[in-house]
Amino acid sequence: MENYRTIDFNENVLENILKNNYSDIYDEMIKEDYILEYNSFVEFRELLYKNKIVGFLTLDTFLHSDFLLCLNECYILPEYRGKGILVNIINELLEDETQRFYIRKPNFNFIKFLLKYGYAFEVAPDIISSYIKFIIKGEETYSNKKIKRLYYKLNSNSKELVYYTAAFHMDYCSIFGVDPLTEIAKEDNTLIFTLPRKCDLKRFNLRKKLKNLSVNKIMEIHFDFAINKDKIAKFNNKLSSKLNGSNDDVLIIGHGDETLVFENLKPNDAVKIENAVENEIKNGNLNFSSGNIRFEYLLNNPEKINKTVNLEENSEDIDLCPFCGESIEDEEYCKKCGQQIKPLSMKSLLKDFLKSMKR
């Protein structure tokens, strides 16, 4: 028996759809102070129990990529909660190899659902690690007078940055994680926290508690989470095997219209690629101009990150690039992978560096 059906609407403003088509659900949401925060969506699903409509969820894509899918809003009538209506849906989304599935800033009740059905576990008191990553934007991060010295003031760029993390603090109803880009946090090992969902903020009267969030408390939370990294990895690996799917991280570079999403990479691969390119420049296999080409090539071919070529063993009169196999003519370097065809002297490298600085 199906536990959902997808419905197409001429408009995509969620609140209007609920008011006009699901008044019983909308009225119950108002009673419970469930506040919608994300009105747009690409897919609307009615949630069913024994063919009765008992709730809804919305899915959306982000960063201009159909590969990245997130759960924006989800609500089930109180009397139908705890019946596992969402479990098959979540499993289906996790096992779909054509996409990566995330949750957009979940509320307290959704975290309880994740805990109940084994998608998350309590790492330490009030600290939750989830197998399913959470999505937040820079504009959703939180600061107060006690911790503001840890962060930069948000600007138009940092507000639009997208972060994904797996950590949630139950006492603050807040997602937290590090900022590897140091666009918001001044140090890459400093935790950033989100504002809670509006419904949790009101339900648990969190404003005073958040104002008391201190630097020492942030350090304590970070320590409690970090010392359990092996336990977290074991939990994630076990669940990944059970689901017969993959929900690994992807590498996301940039933001807004300039965002690039690499589906077969993880964030740490960017560091490996940067180091590989730097070493190849030192070895004379790349120049400063072709280094950018090699970086982009390795982003799309990460299996070749550790490959290197000894140019002295190759003839100067070659038809194929010794690194990627692309046909070449009388060229200084391969236009596909950046491979230098002849070894560069230090004098040539310096000359090329000075030329790149003038651009």
Rounded CA separation 65/52 (Å): 33
Q: Confirm if 136 and 165 have CB atoms less than 8 A apart.
A: yes
Average pLDDT over residues 314-342: 82
Rounded CA separation 127/125 (Å): 6
Average pLDDT over residues 28-33: 96
Only one residue has tokens 């690194």, namely 323
| Residue 358 identity | K
- Cα 74 to Cα 220, 271, 272: the distances in Å are 32, 36, 38
Residue 68 clears pLDDT 50, i.e. is over it? yes
Only one residue has tokens 């010295």, namely 149
Q: Confirm if 194 and 172 have CB atoms less than 8 A apart.
A: no
Residue 258 clears pLDDT 50, i.e. is over it? no
Stated pTM of the model? 0.74
Q: What is the pLDDT of residue 330?
A: 75
Residue 187 clears pLDDT 50, i.e. is over it? yes
Q: Which residues does residue 61 pair with via DSSP β-bridges, in sequence order?
A: 69
Name the range with the highest mean pLDDT among 209-223, 255-269, 340-354.
209-223
Average pLDDT over residues 186-213: 95
Residue 325 clears pLDDT 80, i.e. is over it? yes
Q: What is the pLDDT of residue 306?
A: 86
Only one residue has tokens 């002297």, namely 345
3-class secondary-structure state, position 314 = coil
Only one residue has tokens 């499993």, namely 91
Only one residue has tokens 């140091």, namely 182
Q: What share of the chain has pLDDT > 70, as a percent?
A: 86
Higher pLDDT, 244 or 212: 212
| Residue 40 identity | S
Q: Which residues does residue 68 pair with via DSSP β-bridges, in sequence order?
A: 100
Q: What is the pLDDT of residue 72?
A: 97
- Which helix or strand (DSSP H or E) is residue 122 part of? strand 120-124
